[in-house]
Amino acid sequence: MKFKSIAFVAARQQHAQDALKAMKERYDNVPPSKADVIVVLGGDGFMLRSLHKYLHLGVPIFGMNRGSVGFMMNAFKEAGLLRRLSRAEAIHIHPLRMVATDIQNKKHEALAFNEVSLLRYRRLAAKLRVIVDGKVRLEEMICDGALVSTPSGSTAYNLSAHGPIIPMGSDILALTPISAYRPRQWRGALLPSQAHVTFEVIDPKQRTVNAVADDLAVRNVKRVEVVEDRSIAPVLLFDPEHNMEERILREQFMV
């Protein structure tokens, strides 16, 4: 791939801002609206925000890590960017679409590239009814919450909640409980990517639950519907030797 115009964007942290200054001094820079590719300097959180912010442009994104973990990022190097971009491998990712209904019957819609999570808001455990494709699969789960994760997000919150790592391109979603008390032995489920998942909050006024799509939170929900939106497919670019498939595979062998 060849890109004629590059836009550089960076997180607010000084580490990222220093990198932004260095890249602008070395390469021509255009606004994102006029770019063929956007180079994101920061960590995974800033990458997620950039995906949401620039989704409407339909421009590939190449991340360079100036944060902490940097799972969705490439290594930061000032030199050789044009060659790296020309050799980069493209990954298409599909977000989850969340429709959350709060206790006032107001609907909130959002996209999530990593996961949609439900979390109890106060001291009482959440009670959730889990419905998949219109069929009740769990009549009542007593827990801190639950989440639905994409493959690209499976190594994030999903992994820390002891959910499975999902290879890219597998057309699978992870449904993972968060600190489930009942049923105690249930560890979650792998679902086809086209599955429609619905969470119903039992006694939502007393057992308050918040829903989060990436970094957008909705308070006091009573019903949350989650489905993968295949019509949206932003492109992430990775160095061939450090692509996302390799990272996800490598993560499964880390001890």
Residue 204 near residue 103 (C-beta atoms within 8 A): yes
Residue 238: closest CA among 103, 33, 61:
61
Kindly state the tokens that stand for 202. Answer: 């039992």
Kindly state the tokens that stand for 77. Answer: 């190097």
With residue 159 as reference, give the H or E element that holds it: helix 157-160
Query: What DSSP state is assigned to residue 74?
Result: B
In the annotation, is 44 catalytic?
A: yes
Backbone angles phi, psi at 44, to 5 degrees: -65, -40
Residue 157 near residue 182 (C-beta atoms within 8 A): no
Residue 57 near residue 44 (C-beta atoms within 8 A): no
List 18, 28, 44, 229, catalytic entry: 44
Q: Which amino acid, one-letter code, is at 148? A: V
Residue 39 near residue 15 (C-beta atoms within 8 A): no
Give the active site residues.
44
